Chain A
Amino acid sequence: MTGYTPIYNLPYVEASDLVANYPVVSEELAENVETAIEGSGGLTLITSQTFSASAAVNVNNCFSATYTNYKLVYSIGGSADANLYFRMRVSAADNTASTYSSNYAMVTSAGALTYLNAAAGNFGILTQVDDAKATRGVADIFSPFEAVETALTANAETFRTNSYSVTGGAFHNTASSFDGITLYPSTGNITGYLKIYGYKD
């Protein structure tokens, strides 16, 4: 009789099994190994995309009921010094309601501390970009697809004369369901890549 491992339920052939049973057991083994690998880890890659000199990068259908929370990983440079904004999207259209608020602290390696914020606007702030070095950062996006308020926390690092970090977050203060997000600079265009992952529950 075929045995099964205790954790991932992988079948194995026992001494009492017939040689003729092996093809069936082999197929079941392969399928269960595939299932175990797919179910492991904490993040699932949803999309990965590079872009060059883009006025905006629209990502549609990246948020769904499959995951509650998401991680955005990016490396983006600008054609000019700019704030990098985001808007949530639904059905391939931006949400431009004036319900985004953003709050960031920026610290340089020279010890300067400044703030970047916006209240009740029609955009959220993700970070800053410039034409010196690419800004590399991550953002966690909480509950974008659920019909609740969406929160984003972000941290990024870049360099212009000094290294500096941009740390903070943004909040969309209306209970809404979104299936996408767009990134766009306050001026100029952007080049780089982004990756969006879903956090496994």
Chain B
Amino acid sequence: MPHMSVTLRYFASLREQLGTDTESLNLSSETTVGAIREQLSARGGVWAIAFSSERILSSVNHQMAGPDVLVSADDEVAFFPPVTGG
């Protein structure tokens, strides 16, 4: 069965909470941002705590993306807290 991989990235306080800034995730098919979130949350511990928070935002290939946005092979999906620039 063909599989695809996507790159996940974590920023700021979320990165500190999870203890990692990036990973490669293997998926068996196209999926959604929301499904990836659930998968990460299912790891338990700090992952469950972090991804239970609705304030964590997400993007796919540098564009803001809600839970229904599709994720395909080689996409870059990032998760981060509300932004505080300027």
Do A and B associate with each other?
Answer: no
Q: Which A residues fall within an 8 A CB radius of B? A: none
